[in-house]
A = this chain, B = another copy of it.
Amino acid sequence: MTYSEENYIKAIFHLGIDGVKAVSTNSVAEQMSTKPSSVTDMMKKLSEKGLVNYKKYRGVSLTEKGRILALSIVRKHRLWEVFLVQKLDFSWDEVHEVAEQLEHINSDKLIDKLDELLNFPEYDPHGDPIPAKNGQIKKRDKELLSQMEINSASICVGVKDSSVAFLRFLDKNKIALGNTIRVMEIEEFDNSLHVLIEDRPMHLSQLIASNLYVKKI
Contacts and interface: CB of A to CB of B under 8 A. Distances in A.
A141 to B, nearest CB: 33
A94 B106 contact: no
A77 to B, nearest CB: 13
A158 to B, nearest CB: 24
A1 to B, nearest CB: 13
Contacts of A113: 88-90
Question: Contact size class for A?
Answer: 10 to 19
B102 A105 contact: yes
A38 interface: no
Interface in A90-141: 90, 94, 97-98, 101-102, 105-107, 109-110, 113-114, 117
A87 interface: yes
A106 B104 CA distance: 13
A113 B117 CA distance: 17
A3 to B, nearest CB: 10
Most buried by B among A88, A89, A97, A117: A88
A106 B109 CA distance: 22
A89 B115 CA distance: 13
Given A87-B117, A117-B87, A106 B101 contact: yes
Most buried by B among A87, A89, A105, A110: A110
B114 A107 contact: no
Q: Please name the 8 residue pairs, one residue from A and one from B, whose CB atoms are nearest each other, closest first.
A: A88-B113, A98-B107, A101-B105, A98-B110, A87-B117, A102-B105, A88-B117, A89-B113
